[in-house]
Each structure stands twice: as C-alpha cells, then as structure tokens.
Amino acid sequence: MNLKSLSQQIKIKESFLCVGLDIDLSKIPTHILNEKDPIFVFSKSIIDATHKYAVAYKPNLAFFEAYGIEGWKAFEKTIDYINKNYPNHFIIADAKRGDIGNTSGRYAKAFFENYGVDAVTISPYMGRDSIEPFLSFKDKYAVLLTLTSNEGSRDFQYIEQKGVPVYEKVLRLSTKFENAHNLMYVVGATKSENLKSIRNIVPDSFLLIPGVGAQGGNLKEVVLNGINSNCGLIVNSSRGIIYASQGNDFVEKAAEKAFELQKEMSEYLKLYKII
C-alpha cells in the first residue's frame, strides 16, 4: 500500500489513527491466555474491533520478539491477517532497525518482502548508508526516528552544532537521500513545540506521531503544529486503546477508545478543510 492510498483512506475514514500493537501477555484478559496462540488471538480481536476507526497498525517487534519463535509466528500471522482482511490498512513494523549498507538491506528485505509490511521504523545513528537500503523498494517506506517521545530523547537528539540540533540534521540530510520520497519521520507527540520547524523542513512528508495518551502527548497541539494540506500525520495510540479494559469487554472498550480518537480526528480534518 502506498502513501497516496493512505491519504485516500484518511479521507474516507475521516481518521489518521494508527493502533499500536504492543502486546504484553501480562496485560491481556486472562481468558485469552488459555488460547493456543494468545498473542495472535488478542491482536486479531483488537484489529477487528478497531479497523473501522484506524488507517494503520503498528506492531512493535520488541513485544513479539520477546516471545521467541512463537512471537515471530504471531507477528507473521498478524501481518497476514491484516493484509488479507483489511488490505486498505497501512502496516508499520516498529522495529527501529539499522546496520551498515548491505546488512540493512537484509532487514529491509525481511520486513518488506518476507513479511509484507508497508513501512519499518529505522534508527538514523549509523547514517546514510544504513538508511538508503530501506528506500529502494517501490511503495515501501522507512520511518526515520527523528525526535522521539521519551525522556532520553534529550540526551543526543538535541545536541546542537551552529544552532542546528541533531534531529534537524537528520531531517535535512535525509531529504537528500536517494529515493527520499520513501521516507517518513517519527516525531513524538510530546514534542509538539518542535513540530512547526520540523514541518517547515519536510512540508510534504508523513509524520508518525507516537506518545498521544499514555505518554502525555496532546492531539490538538500535534494537529495545530503538524498537519499539512494532505493531513500528513499518522497518530499512534497503543496502550490507551489495546488495554482500555483487561476484562471480558476489552473488545468493546478498545473500539470505544479508537472511536473517540477518530471522532476528534474527523473534526480536525474538517477544520483544516482536508475533508
């Protein structure tokens, strides 16, 4: 699925919501633990409950990897399930990978070709040749960590040379990469004060915004500073939706929380005349 189709879906669904699949077996309803494949059963339930309100899913690989081979099988099944049943949903593997040139190419091939996701999150630390291998696949995207939502983002991302912080250097240099049109950027919702200057550097790019809700980010602020004429935002919520309830009503509660966000998003899309 390409970004043009994603933009269409945003208009059709009146939503730019991404649901983060950070699946922790210690937090899911206990009755699911008796299932043969509880990770997948939980993922599937959440996806079925939220697909009407979301345009994207973001499985975080750390959670799947933590369960070893079974976790990887559940990841594979989750991606296949989305691709088969909801082919108009954009899938971001939140893997934060990156390695030297041809080794990065291995990761890219694994995620794009073997698993069939649309995008992968990437760490920029190793520079251009660690990122470009992810950009050479048609209609596949690398989502570059730029300014993250966590406290540790202050440690290295704000280091300034001649007034330009590292995260801005990452942005500026990345626009010169080969196939830069296949780049998207992670900008934490907790950093909405920086969104305006980021938007100036990459006016047309899609920004993936985690950190709304549980991590303290504010949706209104994000929209005010980050929206462009095409929306250009994918806002992620994980815990706030998937763990809205740990009881038997977790499906209804997840749907409710996703619907709440979708309604708010619909208002913003109207306000900014995108729909």
E strand map for 27-118: 56-59, 90-97
Q: How far apart are CA 164 and CA 196, in angstroms?
A: 15
Residues 219-238 close enough to bind its own copies by CB under 8 A:
none
E strand or H helix at 21: strand 17-21
Least separation in angstroms between residue 272's CB and its own copies is: 29
* Contact call for residue 103 and its own copies (CB under 8 A): yes
Q: Which of 73, 77, 96, 169 is catalytic?
A: 96
Least separation in angstroms between residue 230's CB and its own copies is: 28
* Contact call for residue 253 and its own copies (CB under 8 A): no
Q: How far apart are CA 47 and CA 94, in angstroms?
A: 17
**Residue nearer to its own copies on the CB measure, 12 or 62:** 62
Pick the stretch among 100-108, 220-228, 248-256, 263-271 that binds its own copies (CB under 8 A): 100-108
* Contact call for residue 166 and its own copies (CB under 8 A): yes
* Contact call for residue 155 and its own copies (CB under 8 A): yes
For residue 160, count CB atoms less than 10 angstroms from its CB and return exposed for 0-12, middle for 13-18, buried for 19 or more: exposed
- Alpha-carbon distances, residue 37 vs 18, 99, 146 (angstroms): 24, 32, 35
Sign of torsion over alpha carbons 145, 147, 152, 156: positive
**Residue nearer to its own copies on the CB measure, 173 or 251:** 173
Binding mask 60-99 for its own copies (x = CB under 8 A): x-xx-xxxxx--xx--x-----------------x-xxxx
- For residue 86, what is the DSSP state? -
* Contact call for residue 123 and its own copies (CB under 8 A): yes
Could you say which of 25, 32, 173, 180 contacts its own copies (CB under 8 A)? 173
Least separation in angstroms between residue 156's CB and its own copies is: 6
- Alpha-carbon distances, residue 137 vs 8, 95, 170, 242 (angstroms): 21, 17, 21, 31
Asked whether 253 and 260 are in contact (CB, 8 A), the reply is: no
Binding positions for its own copies, rule: CB under 8 A: 22, 60, 62-63, 65-69, 72-73, 76, 94, 96-101, 103-104, 106-107, 109-110, 114-115, 123-131, 145, 148-157, 159-161, 166, 169-170, 173
The residues annotated as belonging to the active site are 96
